[in-house]
Amino acid sequence: MIEVNDVKFSYSKHQPPVFDHFSIRFESGKIYGLLGKNGSGKSTLLYLLAGLLKPAEGRVLYKGNDAARRRPSFLGDTFIVPEVFDTPDRTIVAHARELSRFYPHFDNEFLNFCIKEFEIDPKRSMIHMSMGQRKKAYVSLALATRPRLLLMDEPSNGFDIPSKSQFRKVIAAGAADDTTVIISTHQAHDIENLIDQIVIIDYNGLLINVPVSVVIERLTLCRQMFGESTDGALFVRPMLGGNIAIYPTREGIADSMPLDLETFFEAVSMNPVMFTNYLNEKPVENGNV
């Protein structure tokens, strides 16, 4: 649906490029988790996808059209939730009336659903809300525009534990089959049960782009006590009282656990070539790789 083709981008000619011949494609109907270290270019990538930054070389194409041209059809399909934003001195309902003029698919019914789920006061000006409530209001407005491309930069920052559960619920409910959702975050645990695809970038490079289903199928994470053998493990991460280890999926591994996105991110960051090659291999007939 939207693709980055051989893009080069730098904020200054005196600085090294953030991206240099970088390419990736994002498909419709998927929720992507975009992970990377500080300064790896996650926010820059979102702004390139939104057409708010223009590459020095290469192009970002949305349905075959240059995103940087910011055509009305593209703007009506796209919404970005930045990490930091200003809120107007009006209620969420009043602001929704303004937004609906620019978004042809604006859904007031879904906005009311988000207001209820997030427990937002529809009569209170957004400028007087807490940071967490402002973020909930902004996310609600973003989803209500029914965008075909939804970009979110650290959307769960400022959320307490119940709010993170609410966030996952409204994203799952609001992501239509033809919507591409890309969530950039350091809060990996907030999205690991929500996303379909994991994208990890690191200082100008794409480390991995893999479906969650493939990771779950081919890798097993387990907790082990200190002293237990980790022979055959692809990665071992110390934890309180023992280790979290990643193994190739096989029978006989005890104490398996659900996908831990932080552990997977750390493992890929340390050895991207091994994990990329391993996860891209075709499985043999017995189900092992």
- Find the distance separating the first CA and the last CA of the chain, reported in whole Å: 30
31 in Cβ contact with 211 (< 8 Å)? no
CA distance 54 to 73: 18
CA distance 56 to 12: 11
> For the segment 66-85, what is each residue's pLDDT rounded down to a tens digit?
999 999 999 999 999 999 88
* pLDDT beyond 90 at 158: no
CA distance 196 to 152: 15
3-class DSSP state for residue 49?
helix
* pLDDT beyond 80 at 4: yes
Q: What is the mean pLDDT of residues 139-167?
A: 93
pLDDT given at position 157: 85
Cα–Cα distances in angstroms (integers) from residue 169 to residues 30, 156, 163, 196, 213, in the given order: 16, 13, 10, 15, 20
3-class DSSP state for residue 149?
strand
CA distance 56 to 7: 7
Paired with 59 in beta bridges are: 5
Paired with 125 in beta bridges are: 91
pLDDT given at position 254: 56
User: Of residues 269 and 253, which shows the higher confidence score?
Assistant: 269
* pLDDT beyond 60 at 286: no
33 in Cβ contact with 195 (< 8 Å)? yes
145 in Cβ contact with 99 (< 8 Å)? yes
Q: What is the mean pLDDT of residues 157-183?
A: 91
* pLDDT beyond 80 at 256: no
**Residue 112: Cβ-neighbour burial (10 angstroms; 0-12, 13-18, 19+):** middle
36 in Cβ contact with 200 (< 8 Å)? yes
* pLDDT beyond 60 at 287: no
Q: Within a 10 A sphere around the Cβ of 12, how many other Cβ atoms? A: 7
pLDDT given at position 203: 82
State which H helix or E strand residue 175 sits in: none
Domain borders along the chain are: 2-203, 212-280
* pLDDT beyond 50 at 288: no
CA distance 32 to 77: 17
* pLDDT beyond 50 at 105: yes
pLDDT given at position 104: 92
* pLDDT beyond 90 at 236: yes
Token pair belonging to 134:
């402002």
Q: What is the mean pLDDT of the chain?
A: 90
pLDDT given at position 241: 82
Tell me, what DSSP letter sits at residue 11? S
> For the segment 9-54, what is each residue's pLDDT rounded down to a tens digit?
999 888 889 999 999 999 999 999 999 999 899 999 999 999 999 9
222 in Cβ contact with 228 (< 8 Å)? no
CA neighbor of 257 nearest in space, from 280, 211, 224, 210:
224
CA distance 183 to 157: 12
136 in Cβ contact with 118 (< 8 Å)? yes
CATH topology of domain 2-203: Rossmann fold (3.40.50)
